[in-house]
Amino acid sequence: DAKTTQPNSMESNEEEPVHLPCNHSTISGTDYIHWYRQLPSQGPEYVIHGLTSNVNNRMASLAIAEDRKSSTLILHRATLRDAAVYYCIRQEYGNKLVFGAGTILRVKS
């Protein structure tokens, strides 16, 4: 049970921002939100994670709603290399990461 809900697929134009939504309505106060992505024929790679406040790194930004029931991964300028499956994972305190089916992101040139 992944405990998050993501759209099956999304499409974006190259050089434009992409907002990938994730719903985690049953989240508790100590649960972290992690994002990984998986490029074709590769293992998943870490993107970003957060607990309460918004987070930024060189790859992306993570915006967490005030009630923490949803979050959005933001890719500021999508490139063809960003085409991948993006996994939003809710990590319960003391438990392991549980991957769902993720969102397939397609980037058009």
Partner 1 sequence: EAGVAQSPRYKIIEKRQSVAFWCNPISGHATLYWYQQILGQGPKLLIQFQNNGVVDDSQLPKDRFSAERLKGVDSTLKIQPAKLEDSAVYLCASSLEEVWGYQETQYFGPGTRLLVL
Interacting residues toward partner 1 by CB under 8 A: 2, 30, 32, 34, 36, 41-46, 49, 87, 91, 93-94, 96-102
Q: Which is nearer to partner 1, 42 or 53 (CB)?
A: 42
Half-sphere exposure of 92 (CA within 13 A, CB side): 11
Q: Which is nearer to partner 1, 10 or 49 (CB)?
A: 49
DSSP characters over 4-24: -B--SEEEEETTS-EEEEEE-
Estimate to the nearest angstrom the gap between the alpha carbon of 16 and the chain centroid: 17
Q: Which is nearer to partner 1, 2 or 55 (CB)?
A: 2
